[in-house]
Structure formats: structure tokens, C-alpha cells
Chains A and B, each alone.
Chain A
């Protein structure tokens, strides 16, 4: 599918005029302009909504920020909420850079959670040093498999991946619901869709400090670094990005375009699958729970991870702080709700606004960039 080619053409750069000097001074800031404008615009929209609900936006935002970042426990909770966003976000970077739109994060999280859960059940007594890596890898395999299907369908049958990944989400959700009512349900539990307490050897160890923070945060950072190395420091990543830029030219240059598309969605799904494993084994209940719908388990990370990746300019490393920011919004949302009676769902709505503003302001950024004479630092497709 043809996504608009949004990168700036350096040939359009105007000749050096008086404004040119100013432009050169501003050049390094153009890249930051998009997320900054989007964030400010979203905060303003949020303030308007809060006013409409009769709440004081300043109080609401103060509560949100304190709830998110005020104190060690809050920071730890924010980091825990940010982990799935960062993991999904890295996957989104890989897919979007290959010009493949992965909306299937939710389903890939669920599949990763299922394969990780089954693995831990099968190897209950394996010591922790082995079992933790095993469930993480199992999650990656499950999510990767779930991503590879729409990838192959796009590459070899021309199926629009946006639609197929959304449908794969629905299939995964019903599959989870089936398993938790049947094969994986806790013995004795009849009504509650959940597994038994999974093996203690698979618990993600807590980090020192007495908070809820567990090693999932290190896994997320490791995956982000690996994602960066894959995309920008390997021949495979070079091929993926090349296919994302111009599939026809890549094909002409002898690159395996179809294979690249499948791989991109498989890697993307694998990252989401790891997020699923982290959600299960980093949870306080240490169970896979399907009660309350799919979003109750995935925390909508499959969608919110897209927001974080876009905010991080589709760069795996920058996606980590962006996720921390959005994790903070999600944690602080409930504090805001307590203080102002405005439901925390406001944060989900604002995430949508952020997406719209980020993609809506890319054109603005490219105009600025052309004006400043810089060359797009990445494909610019988003």
C-alpha cells in the first residue's frame, strides 16, 4: 500500500539567504519540533476537555504528574506500565521502518503470553535462571509467529496488513478466552477466566529498592538496544529499511522484498510477544488472566505502543523514554481521576489526539526541514 512519501527532498533547499543563517541555527531542533508540538497540542486539548468537565486543568495535570513521577513507588509503577509500551514500541519501529503497519500488537501480546504461560506450565521445576529466559523466548516465538502470518499474507497474497492484523487481534482474543475457559483454566475455578498461580521459578525477579520494579525494565532496554542494532547496525536492518523506503528499487537491487516484509512483521510480533510474557510473569498475581476482556490484560499496549514509537520518532532507543512518559500518563491518570473525578479514560482519548497530531505535523516538520536545509534523518514514513 502506498503510504505518502513524506521525507524532505534536499534539492528543494532554498539558496542561502539572510534567513538561511537562522535556519541553520534552528536545524538541530527541527527533529524535536514534531513531538514537542504534538505534546503541547494534546495537553491543550486535554485542558479543554478538563474544563468542559468542570475540573481545573492545572490541578488535574499536577495530580497526573505527581502520580506518575512523584516518589520512588510512583516511578516504579510508571516503569512497570512503560515496559509493555517500550517492547511493543520497538516492534512498531521495526515494522513501520519497513513500511509495514502493524496494528496487531494486541494479538501478538496475547499469543506471546499464551506460549510463555504454556512453557512455564510444562517446565514447572526448571530453576529460575533457566525458566525466566525460557518464558521470555517462548513469548517472542508466540508473538513472532502471530506476526509472521499477516506478514506472509501481505508479502505473498497482497493482503492489506492493517486489516489482517486487526482481525488477528480478534482471533487471538477469542482464542485466549477459549483457553482460559477450557484447557488452561485454574482447576476448581469455574467462573473466573484465569490460570493457576504459575511456577514461582518463572517470576520476574524484583530489582532491589523495595518497589514493584522487576527485571522487565532491563529486558525492555535490552530489546530496545537489540532493535537499534538490528535496524541500524546490521545488513538485515539495512535491507528492511531499504524495502521500507522504496520496495521497487530494493527489488531491482536484488533484495528479497517479500521475505523482508514477512521478517519485519515477525520481528515486530516477537517484541510484542515478549511484552506478553513480561505482563504475565511481572504481574502481581503471576497468572494469565482473561477476565474483563482483552484490554484488561494487554492494557491496550498494542495500540499505546504505537503512540510511544511515533513519539520516539520511530527510533528504538528514543522509544524507551517516550514509553516512560506515556506509562506515566497511564499511572497518573488514576490519581487525576481521584482528585478531579474526571475518568482516567481521558488519557486514552489524549493518546489518540497525540497520534493524530504527530502524523499531522510531519508535513510541517518536512517543510521546516526543507527550509532549514537538513536531510531527513530517517525514512520519514510514519
Chain B
């Protein structure tokens, strides 16, 4: 155990925790925007898988990571349009249609992967930025200045989302349609348009989160996300629908995951015991949900479709 508590190992664990937090953070921030508008998207897992595959296949075919990132976001946007149609137009029950999206994403990406790629081919994935002197600083350099550009984008989005939600007209509209859609409608806010916009933004971020994951590990496989999208939905509750809270949750889960990995690598937990340690994020999620569930804060109109009374 003493192997773990050395500066270099702790720094490496925290640094990789920040890296692992990136997909959680991107998808959970996107889900926050959707839920603030009153739409629960349980399909994040499926959208992440589709984004991951889009990024992987594009990067594989073009050799360009940038193209992969763009493809992931485009795939997310496409899924957003579909999900908006299902929930906003057709009023489908959001919890279950999300499961439909998940199953579709799971099967569809597996289908495409087997058909187009077959045996896994690794790609040149994301690289950490080299910020010269900053990256070489002891401790701080490894912790904060050697990440990939998408990690910085994800963390930069935290204040951006906060500002957009709390200081712009769009954010005000989003919160209004999530709390009291009838009142917002009376004031001339086009409820379903705002919700559609929020859903699409959220899905673009979920697609990007999946893309980040695939480009980070440089490979795609069936069910690559293995539950991360569902954890991202839980993080929104954890963060009480605030971007700073969501960031705290994403970091917590990133660090827990990296700690488990590190303990395994160091041989501190071995063999079958590592599967017990792998339960940690799931159990942590349940504990966190128990602790936060009584707190008030969910948008009042979450999961309630809007229809004008005639």
C-alpha cells in the first residue's frame, strides 16, 4: 500500500483522474442543459457509443483526429434531432425512449463495427499538449499542463455553461421551459423550440464525450462506454443541476476510476479482488443518489411533455 502514497504515483493518479473525468464532464454538462429544459435523456449511453464510433471510424479512414471530433459532434447532433422528434413532437415517455436509444446505439455501433472494421485496428488518438515550460513544471505540469485539448475544452465549458444558463436570454428561456412551461409560453417563449435546441446541444456534447473516449483509448469495441453514459445522467442529480456540481462529480468519478486502475497496476489489489474494486463507481453512485435525492432542485417540468391547451 505504501507504494501508492508516493508523490509521483499520487500525481499520476490524479492526472489520469482528470483525463478520465473528461467524458463524464462533457456528457453530464450536456445532460444538465437538457434536464434544465425539462427533458430527461437516458439515451446518453447510446449517443456516446454512436459518437465514439463516428470518431473512431472517421479518424481511422482519414487519419485526422480533428475530423473524428467533428464526426462525433455531428453524430450527436443527428441523434439529438431524432430524440427531439421522439420526445417533443411525439411526447414519448422519456425514461423508456432513452432505453430505446441506448439499445439502438449499442446494436447499431456493434453492427457497423463488425461490418466496416471487423478486427480492432488501433488509431492514433489524442495526444497531450506540450506547453513548453509549463508542461515540464514538477507536479503541476503533469497535473494540469499535459492533457489533451478536449480536456481543456470540457473544463472550459463549465463556466461557459454556467454563464449561458444564468446570464443569457437563451439560458433564461431554457430554465423557464423546464420549470413552468405554461408561464413561459404565455410570455411568448416557444417552449418546444427551446427544448429542441437544448436537446440538440446536449446530444452534441454526449457525442463529443463518446468521441473523446474513443480517441483517448485509440480503439473501438462493442459497448466501449460500459455504463459511463448512465453514470453521467446520475452526475446531473449529484451536481444538483449546476455546472460546478457536475464538475465536482465528474472529477470524483474520474479519480475513483484512476485510483482503482492504479492500485491494480501496482499489484496492491490483485486477481478477483480487482472486480470488487471495479464496483466502486457504481456503489458510489447509489450512495450519492441516496444522499442527494431528498434535496430539492430538479426542474419542476422534468419529463413532462408540453402541449398548449386549446
Residues of A within 8 A of B (CB): 1-4, 6, 49, 53, 101, 103, 153, 157-160, 162-164, 166-171, 174-175, 177-178, 181-182, 293, 295, 303-304, 306-307, 310, 341-343, 345-356, 359-364, 381-382
Contacts and interface: CB of A to CB of B under 8 A. Distances in A.
Contacts of A354: 100
B45 to A, nearest CB: 9
Contacts of A166: 227, 230
B289 A307 contact: no
Interface stretch (B55-63, B91-99, B152-160, B244-252): B91-99
B162 interface: no
Contacts of B135: none
B95 A159 contact: no
16 contacts: A3-B303, A163-B233, A170-B227, A171-B282, A178-B275, A178-B276, A182-B272, A303-B103, A348-B107, A349-B103, A349-B108, A349-B110, A350-B107, A351-B103, A356-B104, A363-B90
Contacts of A341: 115
Nearest to A1: B303
B293 A6 contact: no
B104 A349 contact: yes
Nearest to B286: A167
A3 B272 contact: no
A4 to B, nearest CB: 6
B219 interface: no
A103 B96 CA distance: 9
Interface string B80-119: 0000001000111101110111111111101100110000
A167 B304 CA distance: 25
Contacts of B46: 352
Interface of B: 42, 46, 86, 90-93, 95-97, 99-108, 110-111, 114-115, 222-223, 227, 230-231, 233-234, 237, 271-273, 275-276, 278-279, 281-283, 285-286, 289-290, 293-294, 302-305
Given A160-B289, A162-B42, A167-B286, 19 more contacts: A2-B302, A4-B305, A153-B286, A159-B286, A167-B230, A167-B282, A170-B279, A175-B275, A177-B275, A307-B103, A342-B115, A343-B111, A345-B114, A351-B103, A352-B106, A355-B97, A356-B86, A356-B100, A360-B86
A36 to B, nearest CB: 17
A83 to B, nearest CB: 20
Nearest to A346: B111
Nearest to B278: A174
Contacts of B286: 153, 159, 164, 167-168, 171
B275 A359 contact: no
A364 B90 CA distance: 8
A242 to B, nearest CB: 20
Contacts of B91: 4, 6, 363
- Give the 4 A-B residue pairs with the shortest CB-CB distance, closest first: A348-B107, A352-B104, A355-B100, A349-B107
Given A167-B283, A175-B279, A360-B86, A310 B104 contact: no
A346 B103 CA distance: 11
Contact of A355 (B99, B271, B272, B294): B99
Nearest to B290: A157
Nearest to A347: B107
A347 B108 CA distance: 9
Contacts of A342: 111, 115
Contacts of B285: 163, 167
Contacts of B302: 1-2
A142 to B, nearest CB: 17
B175 to A, nearest CB: 18
Q: Which of A6, A101, A360 has the most CB of B within 10 A?
A: A360
B96 A306 contact: yes
A103 B276 CA distance: 22
A275 B275 CA distance: 24
Given A342-B115, A351-B107, A359 B230 contact: no
Contacts of B304: 2, 4
Contact of A353 (B104, B223, B293): B104
A348 B110 contact: yes
Contacts of B99: 103, 303, 306, 352, 355
Nearest to A381: B93
Contacts of A158: 293-294
Contacts of A348: 103, 106-107, 110-111
B97 A359 contact: yes
Contacts of A353: 100, 104
A382 B93 contact: yes
A57 to B, nearest CB: 15
A353 B100 CA distance: 6
Given A171-B283, A181-B275, A345 B96 contact: no
Contacts of A170: 227, 279, 281-282
Contacts of A355: 96-97, 99-100, 103
A349 B111 contact: yes
Contacts of A175: 275-276, 279
Contacts of B231: 167
Contacts of A293: 223
A126 B115 CA distance: 49
A352 B100 contact: yes
A316 to B, nearest CB: 18
A94 to B, nearest CB: 16
Contacts of B102: 303, 352
A345 B110 contact: yes
Given A310-B96, A381-B93, A356 B289 contact: no
Nearest to A180: B272
A359 B107 contact: no
B103 A1 contact: no
A167 B234 contact: yes
B303 to A, nearest CB: 6
A293 B102 CA distance: 18
Q: Which of B93, B115, B230, B233 has the most CB of A within 10 A?
A: B93
Q: Which of A171, A295, A346 has the most CB of B within 10 A?
A: A171
B111 A345 contact: yes
